[in-house]
Structure 1
Amino acid sequence: MKKKMLLPKTTYFEGGPRGIILLHAYTGSPNDVRSLGRYLNNEGYSVLLPLFSGHGTMRPEDILEEGPDSWLKDLEDSINWMKEQGFEQVAIMGLSMGGMFAMKGIISYPDYVIGGGPMCTPLNPGASTNIIPTFLDYAQFVMKKDGATESEIVRRLPSVKEKQIAQLSELNSFINEIFDNLPHVTQQILLVQAGKDQMMNPDDVYVVEEQLKQSESEVKWYPESGHVITVGPEKKQLQEDILVYLNNLKWCH
């Protein structure tokens, strides 16, 4: 009998009147940002860790059946949920793809989202990334873990690759839209970047900083960390830096 996997889900850590939304990476889950969420919750923040549609399953095709429109709705639902809980303001941070949606929230809700920023997020339009090979490795790993045979994996992969290229094209359009809107951002932004990021060119963070013309933005650089910086060797320093940044935002409470 196959052992039942405990799949990740949206998580909420209740705390004080200051609300934070932490968004996970492409192919990831709230587990990406759980330890950061716990840390901030222990420091008094209320923290929502949403699960993006199509993620957190044992079928990689589920991600490819969703896309930026679904994930934007997930973001909007999360913001509305925080409003319903009575939070007058929130900050949004996101890892990798989650950072794209963190910036989208900052751009779209300037009176409600008072700050936040991306962590290891490819936001420089046209810059090369390793997203496609990384996704294919992830897809094979998950299929194998779910009990798929080698022949089944070989059969499923061409369709996965084709759909992923199409989805990446949608994400690139989304990145262009965000990048074009960065000069209008007035909130204080924290740009987190790992020096050993294997998914993107780490120096692209400075292109993004340059584009934030009206924002009091700051780059925090972690030389020993890889792409999933939230669970990397400098995660403790990262957590402390994010806490200092959040504490200095213009909260009404």
Structure 2
Amino acid sequence: MTTAPHAETFHSDGTPDASGRRVGVLLSHGFTGSPASIVPWGRYLAEQGYAVAVPRLPGHGTTWQDMTTTRYDDYYAEIEREFDALRARTDVVVVGGLSMGGCLVLQLAERRADQVAGVVLVNPAVNSTNKQLLLLPVMKHLVKAFPGIGSDIKKEGVVESAYDKTPLKPLASMVAAWKQVRAGLGEVTAPVLLFRSAEDHVVDPSSARIILDGIASADVTERVLAESYHVATLDNDAPQIFAESAEFVARVTSQVAAS
């Protein structure tokens, strides 16, 4: 299947810092989205000298029909593979993600607690109060897809380039995985920077509350974004996300060096 031009992955080599270390940052896009929603963030971090990896999750960036054969475990496997590749060429790695991407990197931080130096989350999804999702175990056998959830962006004229359909079998697999991720939040000990939009039409506030209450990290910062909707990495508050995440990466990786 041909990858759409906007969905190309992004990788940068980075440059060693003053101590000679190479710092890596892995960023994940969200469900039915593509690297397009994350690449501007990745390019900004690359300009700061970090080695950056923005992968394309399986089934994404092509057609929604192509996505129907993929599942959450496929997405996590890709994130883990990219993490290992980035670790192989750097000395320390911070991970970040938007929406489902936040869920994926949280799970990585649970399973690789001794290898993740920090976690940056933008409107992460690990829960929903939408009662319609309770019907997914049945509906996924009756309907292939629901209307799309992409481009929830406040900034005029900006689109996410996400699918216009939401495939139900992949969606059901993600919702089922949330329970496991929530159960493991206590394993997350790395510093966490969480950005949450005050108005988000895709992920409700319950996810952020559950994450902040569940993680074991001693170093936790929450930022509320007043001028962005769900896809905040392309919205009005993107410059804040980019700048503060770069500062966070510098700080937490320097702490790792010191220890």
> What is the 5 A alignment of 1:57-206?
57=62, 59-85=63-89, 87-124=90-127, 126-128=128-130, 136-138=146-148, 164-202=167-205, 204-206=207-209
* Deviations 1:18-43, CA, capped at 9 Å, x for gaps: 00001011111111111111111111
Mapped contact 2:37–2:231 kept (Cα < 8 A): yes
Taking structure 1 as the reference length, the TM-score comes to 0.80
Q: Which amino acid aligns with 1:128?
A: N
For residue 234 of structure 1, the aligned residue among 233, 237, 240 is 237
Taking structure 2 as the reference length, the TM-score comes to 0.79
Q: Alpha-carbon deviation of 1:13?
A: 1.8
- Residue 136 of structure 1 aligns to a residue whose secondary structure is strand
Rg: which structure is higher?
A: 1
Q: Alpha-carbon deviation of 1:211?
A: 1.2
* Deviations 1:145-195, CA, capped at 9 Å, x for gaps: xxxxxxxxxxxx9xx77xx33332221221111111112211111111111
Tell me the distance in 1 between the aligned counterparts of 2:39 and 2:96: 12
Q: Alpha-carbon deviation of 1:5?
A: 5.5
Mapped contact 1:130–1:198 kept (Cα < 8 A): no
Tell me the distance in 1 between the aligned counterparts of 2:5 and 2:212: 39
The reply to whether residue 54 of structure 1 matches residue 53 of structure 2 is: no
Aligned-residue sequence identity (percent) comes to: 22
1:244 aligned partner: 247
2:225 aligned partner: 222
1:146 aligned partner: none
2:8 aligned partner: 9
Tell me the distance in 1 between the aligned counterparts of 2:242 and 2:102: 16
Q: Alpha-carbon deviation of 1:14?
A: 2.0
Q: 1:47 to 1:248 in 2, by over 3 A?
A: same
Q: Which amino acid aligns with 2:85?
A: W
Q: Which amino acid aligns with 1:68?
A: Y
Tell me the distance in 2 between the aligned counterparts of 1:234 and 1:55: 25
Tell me the distance in 2 between the aligned counterparts of 1:121 and 1:215: 19
Tell me the distance in 2 between the aligned counterparts of 1:5 and 1:42: 25
Tell me the distance in 2 between the aligned counterparts of 1:110 and 1:244: 21
Q: Which amino acid aligns with 2:238?
A: K
2:37 aligned partner: 32
Mapped contact 1:20–1:91 kept (Cα < 8 A): yes
Tell me the distance in 2 between the aligned counterparts of 1:170 and 1:5: 24
For residue 20 of structure 1, the aligned residue among 22, 25, 38 is 25
Q: Alpha-carbon deviation of 1:129?
A: 8.3
Mapped contact 2:192–2:217 kept (Cα < 8 A): no
More helix by share: 1
Q: Alpha-carbon deviation of 1:214?
A: 4.1
Gaps of 5+ in 1: 142-156
RMSD: 2.7
Q: Alpha-carbon deviation of 1:50?
A: 0.4
Mapped contact 1:205–1:219 kept (Cα < 8 A): no
